Amino acid sequence: MELAWVLGIGAAVVLVAALAVRVSIRLGLPSLLLYLAIGVLLGEAGFGINFDDAPLTQNLGIAALVMILIEGGLTTRWSTVKPALGRGIALSTVAVGLSISVTGAALYLILGLDWRAAFLWGAVLASTDAAAVFSVLRSMGVSKRLAGTLELESGLNDAPVYIVVVLLASPAVLDWGFPLQIVYQLAVGGVIGLAAGWLGAQALRRAALPATGLYPLATVAVCVAAFSCGQLAHASGLLATYVAGVVLGNSRLPHRSDTLSFAEGIGWLAQIGLFVLLGLFASPGRFLDALVPGLVAAGIVSLIARPLSVVLSLLPLRVSWREQAFLSWSGLRGAVPIVLTMIPLSEGVAGAQELVDAVFVLVFVLTVVQGSTLPLAARLLRLSDPGEPHEIEVDAAPLDELGAELLQVRIKPGSKLHGVYLSELRLPTGASMSLVVRDGKGFTPQPTTRLEEGDQLLVVATEEKRAATERRIRAVDRAGRYARWKGETGS
């Protein structure tokens, strides 16, 4: 196929996929399903593009997953996930092991698979999908702690599941060193991610790059380098990627909002490309034969393995039954299980094609059923809170020659900054508001200027006072002019 055709089809797919987001919202279905449908339409059952390269699909799928994890890590607020750290780690480790065990044992008994194949199925189905979680949950209005739990789980659990699938798909004999390999890969991958994120943040804060657009590129490159270093060290590159993204996303980076916007665009492009690719790889003609095993596996995973693993892994943490029920139903499966099936298929494992077809059926069914009913579940369990407070964004750009930084703030609807006089804002010494843009017109504020929703503020602060200035702005945004009296620090 000529390059012009490839680029033209690619551009058309991205444009249609972008418009499909509005359609999915109106239909109440996850947009990821529509991307999958676009791929199926382009494939052998539609326009006739024949694509069956499993190794290439696996490599492109992992690359897309890396980009999705980068976006997820960079946009994860530490203040949101910190209270949920124990829960997220428990769900991404203990719950994963329990889910693999329960699913594998049930499939061994019901479908008659041999034990290694059964646990390979269990491992493939154990991971919740980062793309599905990040695209669905952040707009639902659940509490920060609950959303943070699911974000952490989906960002962290790909790593142990990937390791288990690779080990089970290999012809090597499994022995007592199996769990040690998992522990080593996770521990080293986490350390590499922390180191890459910290070093990258230090370098980006000190570098005076000649163009604003280079900062987002450099930030993403640091996370990709973390993945590469993790894989080359025979550790978990996926965990290194996500951890590096979280560290960078919560550091004081120059042009942070530009970086987050760029990462969000890369994440959407990766999701679109990944689901279209997987739809292109699918063979709908075989789905009828895979219907029964796919539905059986879907029932086991969603109704038995997921709830049981959630309840048992969270027992020591005293999580309410409502949150446990929501977490049990929030185990969204998406592209990750399909990508993981490419590993045994590429290795020539017996029964791998049947696994691929069954997982396609399972992902479609669970995405429709769970993805479309999650908002209803949140409301029925009284966990949905449309008034959940937002997190104000404070962007910064370095003014190198002056030893200062320029902070940009937009006052969102519902912010307690609305109605506050500039004199009541009480910025630290060394910081001052230089400009207010209101209704497209800018003016220099005075102490009697009253801030309003929709205002864009430019604040200049010395490097030493930048952190204190940002904390003060966040504190007033959350608690209003009497933030200090209410004990709000903005941390």
Highest mean pLDDT among 62-71, 127-136, 403-412: 62-71
pLDDT of amino acid 430: 87
Compute φ and ψ for 360, nearest 5 degrees. Answer: -60, -45
> Which range among 221-225, 353-357, 430-434, 447-451 has the greatest average pLDDT?
221-225
| Mean pLDDT over the full length of the chain | 84
**Which of the residue ranges 142-156, 218-232, 352-366, 371-385 has the most confident prediction, judged by mean pLDDT?**
218-232
DSSP 447-488: TTPBP-TT-EEEEEEEGGGHHHHHHHHHHHHHH-TTTTTTT-
Note the pLDDT of residue 118: 92
**pLDDT over 90 (residue 284):** no
What integer is the mean pLDDT of 282-299? 87
Q: Is the dihedral of CA 176, 177, 178, 180 positive or negative?
A: positive
Instruction: For residue range 80-121, list pLDDT tens digits in order.
Output: 788 888 998 999 999 999 999 999 999 999 988 888 899 999
244 touches 73 (CB < 8 A):
yes
Strand 431-438 to 441-443 pairing? antiparallel
Beta bridge partners of 395: 408
In the predicted structure, residue 177 carries a pLDDT above the cut 80: no
437 in helix, strand or coil? strand
> What is the pLDDT, as a whole number, of residue 365?
87
Tell me the pLDDT tens digit for each residue of 24-37: 656 556 677 778 88
Domains of the chain: 3-380 (1.20.1530.20), 394-479 (3.30.70.1450)
Q: What is the pLDDT of residue 393?
A: 63
**Per-residue pLDDT, 246:** 93
Question: For the ranges 6-10, 181-185, 201-205, 406-410, which has the lowest average pLDDT?
Answer: 6-10
Task: Check residue 195 and give its pLDDT.
Answer: 96
Cβ-based burial of 456 (10 A; exposed 0-12, middle 13-18, buried ≥19): middle
In sequence order, what are the residues at sequence separation of 6 or more whose Cβ sits closer than 8 angstroms to the Cβ of residue 322?
381, 382, 383
Cβ atoms of 420 and 433 within 8 Å: the answer is: no
- pLDDT attached to residue 402: 65
Q: How far apart are CA 470 and CA 491, in angstroms?
A: 9
Work out the average pLDDT over 236-263: 88
- At 247 the pLDDT is 94
pLDDT of residue 27: 57
* Rounded CA separation 444/447 (Å): 10
In the chain, % of residues over pLDDT 90:
22
> CA of 254: how far to CAs of 266, 274, 315, 394, in Å?
19, 30, 42, 11
Per cent of the chain over pLDDT 70 is 90
Region of 174 on the Ramachandran plot (φ > 0 left; ψ -120 to 50 alpha; else beta): beta
Q: What is the sign, positive or negative, of the torsion defined by CA atoms of 168, 174, 179, 180?
A: negative
Tell me what pLDDT residue 258 has.
81
- 369-402, pLDDT tens digit by residue? 887 788 788 888 888 765 445 566 666 666 655 6
Q: CA 406 to CA 458: how far, in whole Å?
A: 7
Given a contact cutoff of 8 angstroms between Cβ atoms, the answer to whether 307 and 332 are in contact is no
pLDDT by residue (tens digit) across 453-484?
Answer: 888 888 888 888 888 888 888 888 888 888 88
CA-CA distance, 321 to 366, in Å (whole number)?
Answer: 22
Predicted local confidence at residue 390, as pLDDT: 54
* pLDDT in the model for residue 289: 86
**What would the DSSP string read from start to end of 229-273?**
HHHHTTS-HHHHHHHHHHHHHTS--TTHHHHHHHHHHHHHHHHHH
Distance CA 397, CA 252 (A): 10
Name the token pair of 484. 């200090």
Mean pLDDT of 174-194: 85
Q: Provide the H-helix boundaries in 314-392.
A: 321-329, 335-346, 352-380
Q: What are phi and psi of 395, to 5 degrees?
A: -95, 155
Residue 171, pLDDT above cutoff 80: no
pLDDT at 351: 86
pLDDT at 397: 64
What distance in Å separates the CA atoms of residue 152 and residue 245, rounded to the nearest whole number? 12
Q: Which residues contact 454 (CB under 8 A, 6 or more apart)?
A: 410, 411, 413, 438, 439
Q: How far is CA 330 from CA 107, 259, 295, 327, 377, in A?
A: 22, 29, 18, 5, 9
